[in-house]
Amino acid sequence: MAPKRAGRSQGPSTQTPTSSDSSSMGEVEFTSDGARTEFQQLMNKSIVKERGFLPTAEDGDLLSMIQERGWESFCEAPEAVPLAIIREFYANAKENRDGFTVVRGTRVEYSAEAIRRVIGGRAKRRNEEDWVVERIGRAKRRFDEDPVDLDRLVYDMCVPDTNWKMTAPPLPAHVSFPAAALNRYAKAWNAFICANIMPSSHGHEVTVDRAILLFGIVSDKYIDLGHVIHQGILRFLQGGTTGAIPYGTIIQSYVEQAVFVGQPTSNYSCQQHLLIIRRSAG
Could you tell me how far CA 156 lies from the centroid of its own chain? 25
Does 12 fall in a domain?
no
Reported as a single tens digit per residue, the pLDDT across 183-200 is: 999 999 999 998 889 877
Nearest-5° Cα angle at 78, 105 to 54:
150
Q: Give the residue with greater pLDDT, 90 vs 13.
A: 90
Residue 257 and residue 118 in contact, taking contact as beta carbons nearer than 8 Å: yes
Q: Within a domain: residue 7?
A: no
Instruction: Decide if 13 is inside a domain.
Output: no
How many domains does the chain divide into?
Answer: 1
The vertex-217 CA angle with 212 and 220, nearest 5°, equals 125
pTM of the model: 0.77
Q: Is residue 107 part of a domain?
A: yes
The alpha carbon of residue 8 and the mean position of all alpha carbons in its chain are separated, in whole angstroms, by: 18
Torsion, CA 148, CA 152, CA 156, CA 162, rounded to 10: 120
Q: Is the pLDDT score of 265 beyond 60? A: no
Q: Identify residue 236 by its one-letter amino acid code.
A: F
Amino acid in position 226: G
Whether 251 maps to a domain, the answer reads yes
What is the extent of the structural domain holding 170? 23-277
| 1 lies in some domain | no
Alpha carbon of 149 to those of 51, 138, 145, 217: distances in Å? Answer: 31, 12, 10, 16
- Pairwise CA distance, residues 215 & 187, whole Å: 11
pLDDT per residue as tens digits for the range 91-146: 999 877 677 888 888 888 888 888 888 888 888 887 777 777 767 655 444 444 55
